[in-house]
Structure 1
Amino acid sequence: MSYEGPPPSRHRVPGWLARHRLGVTLGAAAVVVIAAGGVYLGSGAAQPEPSNAANALEYPPSPAGQPASPGATVPASATPSASTTPSPGATPSTAAAPKVPATGWVPVDRAAWKTQADAYRALKVDPVPAGVGNLPEFRADCQYSHRLPDDPIVAPGLPGASHMHSFVGNKAVDANTVAGDLTKFTATSCKPVQDHSAYWVPTLYDNATGKPVETTGFRVYYRSLAKNSTGQMPMPNGLRMISGDAKKKKPTPRGATGQFYCAFYGPGDLDGIARSTNGNWPICGGDATLHFMMQFPDCWDGKHLDSPNHKDHVAYGSSNSCPTSHPVRIPAITFDIQYPAKGTPAGYYLSSDKEGKSASSMHGDAFVMWDVNTMNKRTRNCVQGRRTCDNYGYQK
């Protein structure tokens, strides 16, 4: 059964929502139909063997004629401290300086991307079993992995420099993680295991107790938001991007965009049956619990794996095409997150806005790394083929 919920923001309702078999009607007395328990792990179906021949990518030097990526040098605060200075009489260390992830405009490895793109174009669509749905998407279902005050995209090489983040997916991620690490250390809290990516959001805290509330279900959709699949391409490995604004600190009263919502089986109110004392958090009725949905861009510039603000190298397309500045259509990542909380008068706060205690600073980071063959095949069969897939392939 497909996991359903409201659109990531109420000002843009993507076409897939209208086509879902289990729909959502927005309004004061909305009908929400959600898979029981929020997010399911897939069945024990057989999975394709990983093929990582094109996966082990580190950030390459800038192509000839292109300036070096801004900020790619090691920050002074990230270099070894006095602890690396040999004590009198000690043998000088030959250990390499710790690696620091590149920042700024990070160019794609053109040869690796061409190899992946050529392999993708050569793929034939697998036979489609009877009864497969027509939602153009595949997914990874993830569980909570670990919590750190690190951010390898925004504050690379600086452990402890970020507000607290809750990570799902790759279990080895910390402030020093680079793309190659995601292929070397592949233990993951996601299914399928061919998804080596890391995903993270600010940690949610119970305002009354100060204790963290970690997700009990974190589904990552890779889908088409367009009406057609013209020019559809897979995700390049090493792509990094952010959705949302960690610095936004506006109230999120009933009906606001960017708020948490209530979801469960059956009819109910997305905004909750009541609100927290400060009005920013819904209190859910019945079996409903707090959820959040977040949508990432679906168009890429084809040149960079990252940009200085972690957003400029990607863009949102229209229902039919991508802007000329970002001509490569990629699957749109969507976070669909379930929390084991119903809401209380005291409400909650995010690590990104402990003082304001609103939900407007909710944001998400994606550091993409898949087994290349799996990414290509799922994009070809499911997104370009406009068929519904779960964690392991076609979904009936």
Structure 2
Amino acid sequence: MQWLSLAAVTALLAQNAAAQNMLRFACSQLVVDRVDPLVNPGMTYTPHLHQIVGGNSFNISMDPASHDLVSKSTCTSCSFQEDLSNYWTAVMFFKHKNGSYHRVRQVGNGGPQGRLINNGGLDIYYIPNGKTTAFRPGFRMLIGNAVNTDNNKVQKANICHRCWNSVNENTFVGGAPCSGSDTVAIPKDPSCKMIRQTIIFPACWDGRNLDSPDHTSHVAYGQGSGANGGGACPSSHPVKLPQIMYELMWNVTEFSDRNMWPTDGSDPFVYSMNIGGAAAHGDYVFGWKGDSLQKAMDNRCNLNNDCPAAGLHSQPPEKYNACTIKQQAPEPVDGWLSALPMGEGAMRA
């Protein structure tokens, strides 16, 4: 048997990823706000801060019985104009040794499929594996536990972080997402120029419930792991969904000076709950127009390209970047803050 070099294996993985038909597109920052209509509906100044992307009808309540994202949104911060869904995650902060905090900025990702342009925000993947059934209007789910502090309680195949030693996000680093040296914990290596966060959602549905009290029980992971579209589904959740993956590139270059890092042994990078990677989580509310997502899956629409067979139209960056809303829980979130935005409104340092 002839063994391949690590570089050759990595190249093959990249080629396979590039060859797989899937939607992969940019979503710029709609707002950074302390609201969470999935877990804390109707509440302003929720326990921690989120960054939200997608349709501009996002609000603090979003009652699933009455809030139709498609009809109420007039724009989307995602590159496909047919996608009025909302996607959100916690926000990464750098903790200075003097006790102040600074939000880490996000950039678009590169990799073998090409560069995506983001104004903050994240990249979204919809990965099919065989025949998939698109989400129905009103569908919601989340992954991760915002209060978890134990890395061992997180499946690395679903939520992970990767250190990138290059500031060029177009240089592909490593193999498939959430594999190899990826970690649940946020890397704390000063050589990291970027930290890539990956969140992979379940791709199996019970076929009945659009949500559940814990926002997770109506979905499940199939056989296998990683960003492969999900394997065979269990009998309890027999309906195969498109596998959703969030990809976030946190640019940590301005915080690489170890003289800025905490001297008490605490982590230099935390999420907005003041917890590390174990508490990373993602929320999803479906909002594609009509049957456009089902058609996209059936017609093997690919990446962020126009797909006439499904009626998908990719917007230019200047259009989706312009789709923003005001904070509904107003407070400073940029610059140096004296404390994380938790409890009362945040204050500048």
Q: Contact 2:206 / 2:237 at 8 angstroms: preserved in 1?
A: yes
Q: What is aligned with 1:221?
A: 125
Q: Contact 2:142 / 2:283 at 8 angstroms: preserved in 1?
A: yes
Tell me how many residue pairs correspond in the alignment. 247
Q: What is aligned with 2:163?
A: 262
Corresponding residue to 2:79 among 183, 188, 191: 191
Corresponding residue to 2:15 among 11, 16, 21: 21
Q: What is the RMSD of the two structures over their aligned residues, measured on CA atoms? A: 3.0
Looking at structure 2, the residues matched to 323 and 307 of structure 1 have their Cα atoms a distance apart, in angstroms, of 18
Corresponding residue to 1:351 among 265, 272, 275: 272
Q: Sort the Cα spacing of 1:170 and 1:162 in 2 relative to 1 into closer, same or farther, 3 A.
A: farther
Looking at structure 2, the residues matched to 199 and 358 of structure 1 have their Cα atoms a distance apart, in angstroms, of 20
Q: Contact 1:245 / 1:362 at 8 angstroms: preserved in 2?
A: yes
- SS in structure 2 of the partner of residue 211 of structure 1: strand
Corresponding residue to 2:189 among 264, 275, 283: 283
TM-score normalised according to structure 1 size: 0.56
Q: What is aligned with 2:143?
A: 243
- SS in structure 1 of the partner of residue 296 of structure 2: helix
Looking at structure 1, the residues matched to 46 and 163 of structure 2 have their Cα atoms a distance apart, in angstroms, of 32
Please list, as runs of the form range in 1=range in 2, the aligned pairs for 1:1-396 lying within 5 A after superposition: 20-21=14-15, 134-179=19-64, 180-183=67-70, 184-208=72-96, 209-217=100-108, 218-224=122-128, 226=129, 229=130, 231-250=131-150, 258-263=159-164, 264=169, 265=171, 280-283=186-189, 285=191, 288-318=193-223, 320-342=231-253, 344=256, 345=258, 346=261, 347-352=268-273, 354=274, 357-382=275-300, 388-393=302-307
Looking at structure 2, the residues matched to 21 and 302 of structure 1 have their Cα atoms a distance apart, in angstroms, of 34
Shift of 1:151: 0.7
Shift of 1:327: 1.2
Q: Sort the Cα spacing of 1:360 and 1:326 in 2 relative to 1 into closer, same or farther, 3 A.
A: same
The structure with the largest alpha-carbon Rg is 1
Q: Sort the Cα spacing of 1:331 and 1:18 in 2 relative to 1 into closer, same or farther, 3 A.
A: farther
Shift of 1:140: 3.1
Q: Contact 2:24 / 2:302 at 8 angstroms: preserved in 1?
A: no
Looking at structure 1, the residues matched to 12 and 205 of structure 2 have their Cα atoms a distance apart, in angstroms, of 25
Please list the CA deviations of residues 108-150 of structure 1 after superposition, one character each: whole Å capped at 9, or x if unmatched: xxxxxxxxxxxxxxxxxxxxxxxxx641311331111211111
Shift of 1:391: 4.4
Shift of 1:222: 0.6
Shift of 1:181: 4.2
Q: Sort the Cα spacing of 1:196 and 1:284 in 2 relative to 1 into closer, same or farther, 3 A.
A: farther
TM-score normalised according to structure 2 size: 0.63
Shift of 1:280: 4.9
Q: Which moved more, 1:316-325 or 1:304-313?
A: 316-325
- SS in structure 2 of the partner of residue 376 of structure 1: helix
- SS in structure 2 of the partner of residue 238 of structure 1: coil
Q: Sort the Cα spacing of 1:248 and 1:18 in 2 relative to 1 into closer, same or farther, 3 A.
A: farther
Looking at structure 2, the residues matched to 310 and 248 of structure 1 have their Cα atoms a distance apart, in angstroms, of 16
Q: Contact 1:250 / 1:358 at 8 angstroms: preserved in 2?
A: no
Shift of 1:236: 1.4
Q: Contact 2:82 / 2:292 at 8 angstroms: preserved in 1?
A: yes
Q: Sort the Cα spacing of 1:19 and 1:234 in 2 relative to 1 into closer, same or farther, 3 A.
A: farther
- SS in structure 2 of the partner of residue 234 of structure 1: coil
Provide structure 2 residue ranges, at least 5 long, that are not aligned to the other structure: 1-10, 109-121, 179-184, 225-230, 262-267, 309-349
Q: Sort the Cα spacing of 1:195 and 1:391 in 2 relative to 1 into closer, same or farther, 3 A.
A: farther
Q: Contact 1:259 / 1:281 at 8 angstroms: preserved in 2?
A: no
Q: What is aligned with 2:330?
A: none
Shift of 1:195: 0.5
* Amino acid corresponding to residue 349 of structure 1 in structure 2: V
Looking at structure 1, the residues matched to 62 and 270 of structure 2 have their Cα atoms a distance apart, in angstroms, of 27
Q: Sort the Cα spacing of 1:267 and 1:155 in 2 relative to 1 into closer, same or farther, 3 A.
A: closer
